[in-house]
Amino acid sequence: QVQLVESGGGLVQPGGSLRLSCAASGSILSFNSMGWARQAPGKQRELVATITSGGTTNYVDSVKGRFTISRDNAKNTVYLQMNSLKPEDTAVYYCNAFKTWTPRGPANYWGQGTQVTVSS
């Protein structure tokens, strides 16, 4: 059973920074990619950053230049460094892990989420 545990959320002022962490219960190299998604009240969940097992990263336009996703394979942990935070970044942030193949087909795994609130 895959477990993803997020930490690092909180309240921060506009322009501030936070670093989110996602610790996996097993080797993150077993996943084709990992990422971070967010969901604001009344909105759909949005995948904002991904990193493949080979280290290739992708970002949604709204966070490019401000957020950085990284991974530490030895610690089975993925990070999201968030700088220059804006009120519109306020959301619950979820860690995601994706496998292109399992006996039941492609699979997404999700953490329980961590709240990020950007407010003065």
Nearest CA to 35 out of 66, 13, 12, 56 is that of 56
The pLDDT of residue 109 is: 95
Token pair in block for residue 31? 């996943």
The three-state secondary structure class of 7 is: strand
The string over 70-84, giving b where at least 16 C-beta atoms fall within 10 Å of a residue's C-beta and e elsewhere, is: ebeeeebbbbbebee
Question: What pLDDT score does 98 carry?
Answer: 95
Torsion, Cα of 35, 6, 37, 9 (10° steps)? -130
Render pLDDT for 9-54 as a digit per residue (tens, 0 to 9).
Answer: 999 999 999 999 999 998 888 899 999 999 999 999 999 999 999 9
Q: How confident is the model at residue 94 (pLDDT cuts 50, 70, 90)?
A: very high
- CA distances to 4, 14, 23, 80, 120 from 41, in Å: 22, 19, 25, 21, 19
- For residue 38, the one-letter residue type is R
